[in-house]
Amino acid sequence: MSVDSTVQDPKQDTATAEDAKWKPKILAFTCNWCTYAGADLAGLNRMKYPADVRLLRVPCSGRVNPQFVLHAFLKGCDGVLVCGCHPGDCHYATGNYFTRRRMLLYRRFLEYFGIEPERFMVKWISGSEAGKFRDTVIEASEAVNKLGPNYKYREEGR
Amino acid sequence: MASTQDIQSAIRARAGKLLQKEVISCFIGWEAGRFEGQSSPLVVRSAADAQKLIYNDYCVQLLAKYLLTENCSEGKVGVAVRGCESRGINLALKDGQLQRENLHLVGIACQGVKDFSTKEELKKCQECTHRNPIIYDDLIGSEVTDGPRVEDTFAEVIELEALSHDERYEYWSAVFTRCIRCKACRDVCPGCTCNECFTDQAAMGWQGKQSSLAENANYGITRMFHSGERCIECGECERVCPARLPLMQINRKVLKDAYDIFGEYVVGIDDCTPNPLDTYLLEDVEEFM
């Protein structure tokens, strides 16, 4: 790596350079039985969506502990998506009903601490809704792009 | 209304009698501290020791948690209960942490306790909605009729909600920066009943050891969400916090949202109604379609 000696404030310059290169990092918790299959279908259909999203497969959206979401933000994610089966379609019968209650509260809770609600989305996407998966990722990516990188409560700081 | 002096002698008499008749194996109350106006929880195991029990305006500690943490030997345990203790005990009964048949509850109608240095009623008692014990086996004196002395306990939360996201981040990062992570709020919380707290699961790595805003926020936000909608509003976390953090503003946020979404409820009003996050309804609010 070369160092430009003409730069006045190297720290500030690195920050702007990093911001210019910045691409959103969105972590998506996807339920094995619905959303993961939906994402797979989107791939099979050669649907185009931003490559900002990283899928993390979980057995059920009920497996997503609220602290996973907070940890994602602390470790440097700019957005988090939690996706699962539609209510009534849960493979484990009731998992997503609990997720729904938990996430209703947790979204408001994180917003209270200053994390913009657009950064944290919850969506029900079934195995056949490849288009909805694509639209959700596009929506999340656009929202996070608009907000810019998340430095709130982030471990490395700025 | 019984004076605190009357209540003190009644507690001593009843605890002594129960211990002598071996109805209970120990009794949890308060004892005098080293200095005037100080008190600390005390577990009494013999009728003679019952004379050590005290009750005055400065018995600030919540005893409900001591039922869970003290090793109270075999058999029934007696405990002095005020409104806040009875709600904490109901919560523990509901969570399966205690068995009702193993408890003998001596009820006290509470007028609120005071801070010895200022002689003023504690903030948690000014906001108290249940001064009379909800469950008890026998009551000392008669019930009181006082309601909360604060009009709207959610006022601070509503004020904060009106700020922008960045302003709120500034506010809370200033709060969490002051946190020293002593975990006193967890240790006194009657809702914190996990055998192993997530912060102690070192191998899992949930809680880092750094002293930083991120780690403090991780502790504060996660712990508060764990007790969250089960908060009995005893205000003990705020009272014991050595950094004087406004922790009830966090608890009340969860409660306020839970009331808005799932309808109003009172935590610890009985020992059977499930907490909102332990149950669900098919027709719950839908935001994620």
Tens digits of residue pLDDT in A142-152? 999 999 999 99
Å from B259 to nearest chain A CA? Answer: 10
User: Among A12-16, B132-136, B249-253, whose mean pLDDT is lowest?
Assistant: A12-16
Pairwise CB contact (< 8 Å): B225 & A74: no
CA distance B123 to B287: 36
Binned at pLDDT 50, 70 and 90, residue A17 comes out as low
Contact residues for A104 (Cβ-Cβ < 8 A; gap 6+) = B257, B261, B284, B285, B287
How far does CA A6 lie from the centroid of its chain? Answer: 38
- pLDDT level of residue B48 (50, 70, 90 thresholds): very high
Nearest chain B residue to A83, by CA: B288
% of chain B beyond a pLDDT of 70: 99
Domains of chain A: 23-147 (3.40.50.960)
Q: What is the mean pLDDT of residues B102-122?
A: 91
Task: Report helix angle B248-262 to A95-112, nearest 10.
Answer: 130
- CA-based angle B253:B256:B259, to the nearest 5? 150
What are the tens digits of pLDDT across the range B211-265?
A: 999 999 999 999 999 998 999 999 999 999 999 999 999 999 999 999 999 999 9
Residues 6 or more apart whose Cβ sits within 8 Å of residue B210: none
Banded pLDDT at A7 (limits 50, 70, 90): very low
Output the average pLDDT for chain A: 89
Q: Which residues of A touch B (CB under 8 A)?
A: 66-67, 70-71, 74, 87-88, 94, 97-98, 100-116, 122-124, 152-155, 157
| Buried residues in B232-243 as b, exposed as e (16+ CB within 10 A) | bbbbbbbbbbee
**Calpha distance B267→B253 (Å, rounded):** 15
Mean pLDDT over B24-49 rounds to 92
pTM comes to 0.90
What pLDDT score does A3 carry?
Answer: 47
- Mean pLDDT, chain B, integer: 92
